[in-house]
Structures are given as C-alpha cells and as structure tokens.
A and B are shown apart, each in its own frame.
Chain A
Amino acid sequence: MRVADLVTASVLLLVGGVVVFDAVGIGIGWGTDGPKSGFFPFWLGVLLVAACGLILVQAARRVDAKPFVRREQLGPVLKVLWPAVALVVLTLWLGLYVSAALYTGFYMRWIGRHSWLAVLAVAVLFPLATFFVFEKWFLVPMPKGPLEAWLGQ
C-alpha cells in the first residue's frame, strides 16, 4: 500500500505541476474583464501540489507491509480489464455491435466455459437487443463498422 500511495501521490503532484505550468502560460492575473483564464486552475494546481506533498510525507513516514494488490487478486482484475480494453479497440474497427458480440462470446467461452450454443445465443441476441433499444427505439446511434455498412444500416 505504501509504495502505491507514494506513486499515486507523486503522479498527482506531477499533474498539479503541469496544471500550474499551463495556467501560468495562459495568465493567472487580472485581465481586462476580471480574472484571466489561468486564475482558477492555477490555484487548484498549487493546492494539489501542496496536498500531494503532504500525502507523500504522511505515506513515507508510515510503516505498512500490506501489498496494494496480491498476486491472486491481480489475476481476476486483469481478466476483466484487458478484454474490456480489447472491446474498445475492436469498436474503433468493427463498430460497437460486432465487437460486443465477439467480446461477450469470447468471455463466456473463456471464463465461463459455456456451451457453444449458449455462447452463440447470448452473443447474437444481446447486441441485437441493444441495437433495437438504442438505435431504433431511442434513436441513439452507436459506432458502426463494415458489417452494418454491408447490411445498409
């Protein structure tokens, strides 16, 4: 926990520094019509740097042997995370509906070891249902890919 605390606080401290840097560039003083654009972010950044500095001091002083995440905890977390990232990457190429079908099907087969029949049923019906609810019923368009183009949607 201690190391994770130190790393997170350091990253946030850096973010604060970047904010201050950007704000100073825009101008933090008094413009022709009130405070300049950088005024508010500047003080936010300064406070963030100060608060993170204090957290760093706190964390550095503390003795804490508990790990941030145990190895057997990290496994399942990654097994949720990387397929989700894959879903986003696929969505850029294939559109949301096809990616959702592939993602759901893959996940069911890989983690759940469901029968191919169940996999096929859910992987087809769920994106179809999503399509009708969002695209047809509420008229909210989703990203589409080659399949939808081929179907003329």
Chain B
Amino acid sequence: MGIENLFLGFQIAITPYNLFVAVIGITLGTIIGVLPGLGGANGVAILLPLTFTMPPTSAIILLTSLYWGALFGGAITSILFNIPGEPWSVATTFDGYPLARQGQGGQALTAAFTSSFVGALFSIVLITFFAPLLAEIALRFGPPEFFAIQLLTFSSFIGLGGGNPLKSLVSILLGFILSAVGLDIVTGQLRMTFGFVDLMKGFDFIVAVIGLFGIGEILISVEEGLSFHGVRTGMNLRVVLDTWRILPRYARTFVRGAFIGFWMGFKPGGATPASFMSYAFAKRFSRNPERFGKGELEGVVAPETAAHAAGVAAILPMITLGIPGSPTAAVMLGGLIIWGLQPGPLLFKEKPEFVWGLIASMYTGNVIGVLMVLAFVPLFAAILRIPFAILTPVIVVVCAVGSYAVHNNTIDIWYMVIFGVVGYVFKKLDYPLAPLVLALVLGDLAENALRQSLIMSQGSLAIFVARPISGAITSVAILFFALPVLTPWWRRLRGVPAVRRAAREI
C-alpha cells in the first residue's frame, strides 16, 4: 500500500506549480543558508506568513524545500568561509575549509553536496516505509503516551545533548514558561501577564526563533570584526565529474554516516551530535587518520552525510507524532497548525494527499536541490561578497518584517530584538537554544496532554508508568534525565582515576 500512496504523492509533487514552488524554496533556502545569521529555522519562520494564502501541500513543499536549500547552503559557508551556518555544519569546516584553502574548494563542495544528497535520500526512503507504520502505532496513543513522548523528547536533550545538563533543563523550562504566558485556553484564566495587555497574547515561537537564531547569531558572528572573509573557488562540470569518480571509495563512510544520521536524527537535537559522531568514526576507521583536519575529503563526506540524513529524519516524528525533531521542524509544525491541519498520526488518515505529497516532494526537492547547488555554487557564494554594511541591515530588516508579519503587531519586533540579546548571552554561556524553541512550540500540547492524563487518573502521576507503552517510554525518559548523574558515578565504579577525569574536563 505504501507504493500506491507514494505514487499518489508524486502526482501531487510533480505538478508544474509544486515543482516551481520547490525551485523557489530551494533557491531562497540556499540563499538563507549562505547568509550569516539566517538558517533553516528562522528562514522558514520568516517565510511562514507568506504561505497563509497557499494550499497547505504547496506551502509545506515550499518550506521543506527551503529547509533542504538551507542545509545545502550551510555547506557553502562552512567550506568557503569557515563560518558554520548551523551547529551541525561545524564538523564540515574541519576539513572543508583547509581543502578550500588548498584550492580544492570545488572538490570539497561537490563532495559535500553529494554526501548531503545521499544522506537525505537514505532517510527519505526509510521515512517512506516507517512513517505509515509509526503513525499506525501512534493512533493507539492516548494523552499519557503523548506526554511520555514529550518527556522523552526533552530528556534526550538533557541526557544526550552534551554540554551542561542543568543549562539544557533551564532552556526547556524557560521555553515552557514562555509558552504559558497569556490566556490559558482551557480555563480562560490569564497567566503571568501582570496586568500588561500586550502580554495577553503571549510569546510567539516564530518571533523567538527569528530573534534567538537570527539576531543572536549576527551578534555572535560580528565579535571577530565587521566583515566576512571567504576563499574563492573554481567550480565546473569537470571538477564535479572528477570528484564523483573518487567518491565511491568512501562508500563505507556514506553508509555509516547515513545510519548514524537517521538514528540520531529522529530524536530531537540529533543532527549536531550525529555529524560529530560520523566524523569521529570516519577518522577512527580511516587508514590515514593523521590527515583529518588538514583537508581530507572523507572528513567532509562523513559529517555532511550524517547531518543531512539527520535533518531529513527530523521530519519523521513531526508528521507521525506531531512532535518535531529539530527547531526547523518545530516551525513547520507551527505552520501545520496555522494552515488548519492537526499534526499527528491522524494526518495519514485524514489528509493522505498532504502527507504523501510532502514525502514525494522530499525526493523531488532533494534531486532538484543537489543539481541546482552544483550548478549555481559561484552565484550563491557571491552573496557573501556583498559588503557587510549592506548585508547586515538587509538581514535585520528581513528579520523585522518576518516578526511583524506573524501577528501584525509592532511589539513582536521588540520581542525579536530582546530575544536576539538573550540568544547572544545564552549562546556565549552555553545555554542551548534548540530545546527552548521546541518547548515554546510544544508547551500547550504538553500541558494539555499532562492535564488530560491527570484527569484520566484523577490526579495520580502513576498513570504514566502504569500503562504499558507510556510506561516504557517514561522509563527511557527517566533514564535519560538521570544519565548526567549516573555517568560520573558509573565511571568512578569502573575505576577511572579522578585526576584524569578532571584533566579531561579542562
């Protein structure tokens, strides 16, 4: 049955209008990915208001295409400018930038785009088969199961996210608190408004995303001076074909990266650890690990495959469970709600043309995407040659326009600036931003699931462990929450000397 549905999806995705939408999305997405301060999440957020008048399927195709474009564009800045546009592009800079400095930029870019494409395709094929199954299972979920999944989502940031678990927790709590500001839709009560009319509407996650990731990112990036420095590159068909002849050598790296990416990616916050993990594995299994970090092509292939596979995999929980796997997917989920669709497993039953149109467009979008970026790299890279003093005000104005368009309210532009400063401070102090955004998006859903569960059980928290599925998920979540406490304890048990541990921490 999957194949027929996919066929139906392709009929929707290959209509001229939707193909046109995909091309526009990828072009804009690549530009956004190249521009410093703009990335997938806030790019999608800024464009979201423009999709209100479009049919939902075309709207989601536009936004997902934008996402693919941004993923491709991130590789351009990492390799040519040594600026990782997104956290998961950091590992790409390790070998990508040295390659570009050695005049091998074209080769590195070709390898990056091809790896991205392979990683994405792998995840899309898996999504095609697993999404309907997962949706089928999720249909039997009640409020306790959904709350348990939310717990799992946020526990994985704390247990697996790296960094300071307390700071991850603070980010999550802050996101939930911000989402609770304003009118409580269940009881009609005002919360945390302190008499201010403007606070009644609460905080919109789109504005938060634009401020935190957009303005905050610019503030961070200008610390090293008010300019961007890049390496020029020659890119032509000859370079592309020559690189493609070498790439099959790295078949193992591709497969490993794709698996790591998918596995990490459908859990929230997975793309960044996936890219680093894939890079580390590639280095470990390489015959010449000493060349990593100095311009080894495999060091570009590994993180790019994993990051793109993870980026695509983040769509899986969004369409099947209604729980996004990444900040960008979170913004898209917000879009779904605005377009009048109820995200979650019912989507497969009620709007098959939407879901399958989306899945089919992931195939077409990535094929179009890889061809377009390969063909137009010089054009996209030229964007960063626009002088800083023009680029920065343009980006800030675009961010302001995107924030205002959400509710036609100027207070949102203020919020954007404030979130920008908060993003700058948080980023410097290692408070992760992704969990904050995810919590802000999921706040109402999580609170409702919790309330309904507690009503079902008449106030007893035991409901989350008593039901088999939610019990299993809750246990894993509790394990993740406890991981930061358990790990040092476990190390001590195994007798790792304290001195060495302390040395490693420094």
CB within 8 Å of B: which residues of A? 1, 4-5, 8, 12, 15-16, 18-19, 22-23, 26, 30-31, 33-41, 44-45, 47-48, 51-52, 54-55, 58, 68-69, 73, 76-77, 79-81, 83-85, 87-88, 91-92, 96, 100, 103-104, 107-108, 110-114, 122, 126-127, 130, 134, 138-143
Contact count band on B: 35 or more
Q: Which of B397, B410, B428 contacts A68 (CB 8 A)?
A: B428
Residues on B with beta carbons closer than 8 Å to the beta carbon of A73: 223-224
- Chain A residue contacts of B177, Cβ below 8 A: 15, 19, 41, 44-45, 48
Q: A1-B428, A81-B420, A103-B397 are in contact. List 10 more A-B contacts (CB 8 A).
A: A4-B425, A4-B428, A33-B455, A37-B191, A39-B451, A55-B170, A81-B421, A100-B400, A104-B394, A112-B387
What would be 23 A-B contacts, judged by CB atoms less than 8 Å apart?
A4-B425, A8-B425, A18-B192, A26-B189, A30-B459, A33-B187, A35-B451, A40-B180, A41-B177, A47-B169, A76-B225, A77-B223, A80-B222, A84-B420, A85-B417, A88-B414, A91-B400, A91-B413, A100-B400, A107-B392, A126-B394, A138-B53, A140-B405
Picked from B191, B413, B428, the residue with its CB within 8 Å of the CB of A22 is B191
A111/B226 contact (C-beta < 8 A), A37-B187, A96-B401 known:
yes
Q: Mark B392-415, 1 if CB is under 8 A from A, else 0.
A: 111011101100110010100110
A100→B173 contact, CB < 8 A: no
Q: Which of B164, B390, B447 has the most CB of A within 10 A?
A: B390
Docked Cα-Cα span, A31 to B410, in Å, equals: 37
Q: Does B429 contact A (CB under 8 A)?
A: yes
Given contacts A76-B223, A79-B226, A126-B394, contact A111 B428 (CB under 8 A): no
Contacts of A84 in B (CB 8 A): 215, 396, 417, 420
| C-alpha spacing A130/B390, complex, angstroms | 15
Q: Are A48 and B170 in contact (CB under 8 A)?
A: yes
Q: Is there a chain A Cβ closer than 8 Å to B454's Cβ?
A: yes
B167 at the interface (CB under 8 A from A): yes
With the chains together, A40 CA to B424 CA distance in Å?
Answer: 28
Contact status A69-B429, CB under 8 Å: no
The chain B residues found within 8 Å of chain A, CB to CB, are 49-50, 53, 164, 166-167, 169-170, 173-174, 176-177, 180, 184, 186-187, 189, 191-192, 194, 215, 218-219, 222-226, 387-390, 392-394, 396-398, 400-401, 404-405, 408, 410, 413-414, 417, 420-421, 424-426, 428-429, 431, 447, 450-452, 454-455, 459
Contact of A48 among B174, B189, B450, B452 (CB under 8 A): B174
Contact of A35 with B454 in the complex, beta carbons under 8 Å: yes
Given contacts A4-B429, A92-B410, contact A76 B397 (CB under 8 A): no
- A111 with B388: CB separation less than 8 A: yes
Contact, CB under 8 Å: B393 / A108: yes
Closest to B173 in A: A48
Q: How far is the CB of B303 from chain A (nearest CB, A)?
A: 28
Residues of A within 8 A of B390 (CB): 104, 108, 112, 114, 122
Partner of A111, one of B389, B401, B450: B389
Closest chain-A Cβ to B441's Cβ sits at a distance in Å of 16
- In the bound complex, how far is the Cα of B184 from the Cα of A22, in angstroms? 13
Instruction: List, in ascending order, chain A residues with CB within 8 A of B398's CB.
Output: 130
When distances are taken between beta carbons in the complex, the residues of chain B under 8 Å from A55 are 164, 166-167, 170
In Å, the complex CA distance between A9 and B180 comes to 21
Interface centre among B401, B405, B414, B452 (most CB of A within 10 A): B401
Pick the contact of B389: A34, A58, A112 (CB < 8 A).
A112
Residue pair A34, B170 in contact (C-beta under 8 Å): no
A39 to chain B, nearest CB (A): 8
- Which residue of A8, A15, A51, A88 is within 8 Å of B429 (Cβ)? A8
